[in-house]
Chains A and B, each alone.
Chain A
């Protein structure tokens, strides 16, 4: 119950934060611009719109997750609001779980708004060419769902960095690095294979296994080109994401429990 009180307050804080609206505005702007770009191509306009639209949702969603995610705990410590929360009968792990869930709700609402924006643009596009709007590729929602699971993972990582660092900049750098490398883990594995039997291979493999494989969540290309994304794949990847999130949250909880709030 206290977890949800804190989650509700975190959501309220986020929707009263100007950064959120700026990011949301730019995302919707990008999606709308895709309509213009689509007119430059011959046929396949909806593919261009879906490509740009899903890309925008992914990038702006990640920016919201990283920047609000880092602020979750660091802002509480910087503004010293954490003293008053943790002096109430709230266990520390419940506090960070509540903060995490609050931000997830925020991200879910934002991703849904961006998704609805994309859908609206697709409808406008179809109407413009006199097509039947029921032809719209409904699989974009599969891609958006997968983006959301990816953002859940990214948010958990941002939260973890913010539980032991007191610098927002440093946490942002770490999280962005984890996000980028997380999208390049396949290349990381290939890189490791180039150094057989050396420490380098061990080091590279360590990061390969440590960091999340965020490309698992990327089905944008498939959706754009109308390739089928199977429910079993989505379930497996969702389970992978949830497992990774649990591990990251447990580590965050352990670090946070031991921390002194000077």
Chain B
């Protein structure tokens, strides 16, 4: 299987997992807890892939297996064209762990030099990359400041700098936006988009939905260790129920009762009514009824489901 995939991987896939499973032993008796249940996932070359799920869904577990920090209980995973666990392939991967856990006694320069050396970089080449990276993440002025004095946003940015010091083909970021303010999040988003423009593939996990909506080409939604959906955002959204919201004024009470009986929900506000239609095809019929009831249509808005609603609905259904 691995050889078969190897040939295929030269094409378009940068991450692939096959039935990836991880059980953890918990408690004194060593009871088994399934953090990841048979994950099958493919990430394509050159895309920004958002790995979405609530806390505890198994996102970090997946990433740790991909990075060789933990071993899967069952299943296999490949990164670029090698099976996970191959040390050499890490030369082509950039990684930012969840929360910026770094040696805080180092200055930015020492920090980048250290990680650069782990990739075998040295001399003028390393110095040039360090200089460019500090500029990329806007930390030129903090070059000689110890990391312990950094704000969270600065730590996250220097973290991204170390993740790309080896000019990787694939960048894996675990919760890069968590704990950041809106400006910090925008800065990280901009950096991710710039990486994509440079032809890199980016795989990042998050539970912050707007970040995904804004920058991801595709998303995978993970819940309780299982992938519940994967695809382009508009595919996932289109497949789900939309509703049409009609706002109208001066609709007679009798007509409202009639409309409410037709698989729609009606909310009366003090100066208008809001009619929610589950079936888009009913829009014209209802609009006619509103007019027949002497009402005036204010707006007709087909409501697309937001990822957030989709997310909440899924969690609700599961629990």
Contact = CB atoms under 8 A, between A and B. Distances in A.
A and B interact physically:
yes
Given A5-B118, A13-B103, A83 B69 contact: yes
Interface in A53-96: 79-91
Nearest to A9: B114
A86 B68 CA distance: 8
A131 interface: no
B88 A89 contact: yes
A94 B256 CA distance: 75
Contacts, number: 74
B87 to A, nearest CB: 5
B105 A84 contact: no
A43 to B, nearest CB: 49
B120 interface: yes
B97 A88 contact: no
B70 interface: yes
B265 interface: no
Interface in A1-32: 1-2, 5-6, 9, 12-13, 16
Contact of B95 (A80, A84, A260): A84
A9 B71 CA distance: 27
Contact of A9 (B70, B88, B103): B103
B102 A89 contact: no
A249 to B, nearest CB: 19
B67 interface: yes
B101 A91 contact: no
A240 B151 CA distance: 50
Interface residues of A, number: 25
B280 to A, nearest CB: 47
Contacts of B114: 5, 9
Contact of A260 (B67, B70, B99): B70
B101 A80 contact: yes
A2 B101 contact: no
A182 B97 CA distance: 41
A194 interface: no
Contacts of B288: none
Contacts of B115: 84, 88
Contacts of A260: 69-71
Interface of A: 1-2, 5-6, 9, 12-13, 16, 79-91, 258, 260-262
21 contacts: A6-B118, A9-B106, A12-B106, A16-B105, A83-B97, A83-B101, A84-B95, A84-B96, A84-B102, A85-B118, A87-B67, A87-B90, A87-B95, A88-B95, A89-B88, A89-B118, A89-B120, A90-B87, A260-B70, A261-B64, A262-B64
Given A84-B97, A86-B68, A90-B87, 7 more contacts: A82-B69, A83-B101, A84-B115, A84-B162, A87-B93, A260-B71, A261-B69
